[in-house]
Structure 1
Amino acid sequence: MIKNILLNIVKFPRLVSFFGEEYTVICKIDNIGDYILFRNFLRDFRKSKINGGRKVLLIGNKDWKNIFEIYDSESVDKIFWVNTGYLQRSRIYRIFVLF
């Protein structure tokens, strides 16, 4: 359910923040092994033509927060951490994450 909602949000050509800046949203809440494979893509994506000079907003799994902060924090402008264990258990937390 949450995946479908996030995919519908990403279909919009632009996501504009409250400050009027354009962001590209990347939702990656997989486990740490998938993040390790994803890291190389993240660095190149920021400079790519597809991104078009927009800022990058990453929705990430809290389990790999330490690795991200040490090695990849310069690749993303803003980050929103999601606790996946709590996301599965709490309906209120799911609603909070969607908003």
Structure 2
Amino acid sequence: MAFLLLSPWPLVLGYLLAGVMVILMVRDFVREVRGVSTRVGVPRSSDRHVEVWFGAHVIAAFTGSTEDAAPYEAGMELRFPGLPITNKPVPAVVDSGTADS
């Protein structure tokens, strides 16, 4: 037991575990940032919402401009042949602060 207390291995393994945890946290942060739209404000009327359906469940979704939605839809058709894919306009968002009551 004294060997483990004097050995550097517990310290090395602790640092290794901490490093792995930091890498995973950074990876999750980057994924979250990439998933967030860079556009600010209300969606444009020209935006499209593309969804890939597996039964009653959406397994992939994308919202973006018409120019970006078309290649995404084509790519999903290649990746998921036979699954239904919808490409609909994004519904208009009503600002509750300016809506009439």
- TM-score after normalising by structure 1: 0.29
Flag the structure with larger Rg: 2
- TM-score after normalising by structure 2: 0.29
Q: Would you tell me which structure has more helix in proportion to its own residues? A: 1
